[in-house]
Amino acid sequence: MKETSLYSALHESIFKISDRNLTRNLDSFSLKRDLSLSSGQVGAIALLRENGQYELTKYARPEIQVPDITFDDLWTCTQEHFGLTAATAGLAYGGMPVRKIKKGHGTWLGSGKYTNEISDFGHKYFPKAKLKNGTPAAGISKAVFGTTRVFGIIGRASPFAAIGFAVFDIVSIGMCALEERNGS
């Protein structure tokens, strides 16, 4: 969206709708003055009538109160909530992609170049942990995650779980800080 002056935008708009015969008796200078006097407003719309008159609809800034929360309030609540934050960090670390070659795994035809720490852990210590073929759970996991290995499923789902935990952490810490500030 290009930025222009109010006067240029007004005349460009009048020119665009001039073929509809609405602007024949329009006093564009009065319209510009009325739109300019809208200080403290976030927007205005001019509705044109057939006789060249107009009606202004103005939009005011909403009154939103910003809570007075200090860093100490957030830090106190974060310390109280640290257990779930550690789970979030663990899931985020475990789900980060790592090249398979660096972990000593080969890449087969059609497979990806990356794995993650959770899937690698499953390969090393639980290589036979798979969902039973033919079960509904195996079919769904194969369709959604592309594997039936238990640790492969957990590894591929961990970034989404980490995001969910992070959102929960942020909301929970924010609610705690508001309660601390309000003394509830």
Within this chain, do residues 87 and 138 fall inside the same structural domain, yes or no? yes
Within this chain, do residues 45 and 88 fall inside the same structural domain, yes or no? no
Instruction: Band the pLDDT of 156: cuts 50, 70, 90.
Output: confident
The type of residue at 110 is G
Q: So what's the pLDDT on residue 93?
A: 80
Task: With CA atoms as reference, report the closest residue to 148 among 136, 163, 162, 132.
Answer: 132
| Residue 93 in domain | yes
Within this chain, do residues 85 and 155 fall inside the same structural domain, yes or no? yes
Domain that holds residue 114: 71-182
Within this chain, do residues 162 and 124 fall inside the same structural domain, yes or no? yes
Q: Buried b / exposed e across 81-100, counting CB within 10 Å, b at 16+? A: eeeebeebeebbebbeeeeb
Within this chain, do residues 40 and 100 fall inside the same structural domain, yes or no? no
> Burial level of 116, CB count in 10 A (0-12/13-18/19+)?
buried
Within this chain, do residues 40 and 125 fall inside the same structural domain, yes or no? no
Within this chain, do residues 76 and 56 fall inside the same structural domain, yes or no? no
Within this chain, do residues 55 and 111 fall inside the same structural domain, yes or no? no
Neighbours of 30 (CB within 10 A): 10
Task: With CA atoms as reference, report the closest residue to 9 among 25, 23, 28, 24.
Answer: 28
Within this chain, do residues 156 and 75 fall inside the same structural domain, yes or no? yes
Within this chain, do residues 88 and 178 fall inside the same structural domain, yes or no? yes
Within this chain, do residues 92 and 112 fall inside the same structural domain, yes or no? yes
- Residues 104-139 have pLDDT tens digits of 777 777 777 888 888 888 888 888 888 988 899 899
- Residues 29-67 have pLDDT tens digits of 777 777 776 566 667 777 777 666 777 777 777 676 766
Claim: this prediction has a pTM higher than 0.85 = no
Within this chain, do residues 12 and 78 fall inside the same structural domain, yes or no? no
| Residue 66 in domain | no
